[in-house]
Amino acid sequence: MLGSLTLILLCQLVGEIVTKVTKMPVPGPVIGMVLLFCLLLLGADRLPRDLDSAGGFLLRYLALLFVPAGVGVITNLDLLIRSWAPIAGVIVIGTLLTIAVTGVAMQFLNRRFRGAQKESGQ
């Protein structure tokens, strides 16, 4: 399991380095996650076998990683109170956009899937 955790953290480190060097506005862990996904696609047979259990271990304790963010929100509560309207607007607009894009994508995929089923005769 140590090798799997090392691989996950190494992918995150590479993602952080790529973010710093290229000055991309994407978090390093996101780039690391994409890198790990590509590694899984390209060479899943050569990666440590217990990568799944290491990932499960991290997911089990994921809630603990939100504690610092929650503390940050509480310490900046005055800023949140002053800026409640823009924050609420962004949350509402973001949620509506997400629902709309998901609906359009599902309609597109449903039509495409039905067309593929008709062509294959199912």
Q: Give the DSSP per-residue string, 36-96.
A: HHHHHHHHTTTS-TTHHHHHHHHHHTGGGGGHHHHHHHHHTHHHHHHTHHHHHHHHHHHHH
Question: Do 52 and 94 reside in the same domain of the chain?
Answer: no
Q: CA separation (Å) from 32 to 13, 109, 116?
A: 7, 28, 34
Say how far apart CA 54 and CA 37 lie, in whole Å. Answer: 15
pLDDT of residue 46: 72
- Percentage of the chain exceeding pLDDT 70: 97
Using one digit for the tens of pLDDT, what is the confidence trace for 64-80?
A: 888 988 898 899 899 98
Question: Do 88 and 55 reside in the same domain of the chain?
Answer: no
Using one digit for the tens of pLDDT, what is the confidence trace for 110-120?
A: 988 887 777 77
* E-state strands within 14-101: none
Q: Please give the residue range of the domain that contains residue 12.
A: 1-60
Question: Do 76 and 54 reside in the same domain of the chain?
Answer: no
0.75 cut: is pTM over it?
no
36, 60, 84: which is the final residue of a domain? 60
